[in-house]
Structure 1
């Protein structure tokens, strides 16, 4: 099982935060995606809404954009975009 953590600092002069597990994974995905953001389809994860909620509790601003989709089961889905500027101080992933 993979283990992960990331330590970030909210810019320009915010406190640092260390996140672990899937919340750290979600933050990495949001940082890498930039302004395009992430959806549960493009970045599969079982609890995106929970990850985003926990990031918001830590003071990070994450926008939720609603998008329509068609197909056999039409409806809407969320796209999450990290709006807070952050500096990655340290990250680690054990890929065992």
Structure 2
């Protein structure tokens, strides 16, 4: 099992900020997804809302939450998270245990 680490800075002139664990993992996915965003359905994770909350509060990132409906055996709604803050990835690494 490895732990994800990510150092970013908010553009245009933000200071470097390092995060680790699931919030770093979620931010990597949000950056890669771009304007399409991520959902707990397409990118399963046990606590997406918690990761987004941490990224918003600790890193000051702007992340939109869009509500969507879904069908299937258990129809309902889910969130789509879209990173709106422009960021630059300074370093990404994994600590393998």
Query: How far is the alpha carbon of 1:94 from its aligned partner?
Result: 3.7
How many residue pairs end up in the alignment? 96
Report the TM-score, using the length of structure 1 for normalisation: 0.95
In the aligned structure 1, how far is the partner of 2:95 from the partner of 2:16? Answer: 22
Deviations 1:25-78 (A, max 9, x none): 000000000100000111111000000000001200000000011122111000
Distance in structure 2 (CA, Å) of the matches to 1:84 and 1:43? 20
Unaligned runs of 5+ in 1: none
5+ residue gaps in structure 2? none
How is 1:77-96 mapped onto 2 (pairs within 5 angstroms)? Answer: 77-94=78-95
Runs of 4+ in structure 1 deviating by more than 2 angstroms, as ranges, are none
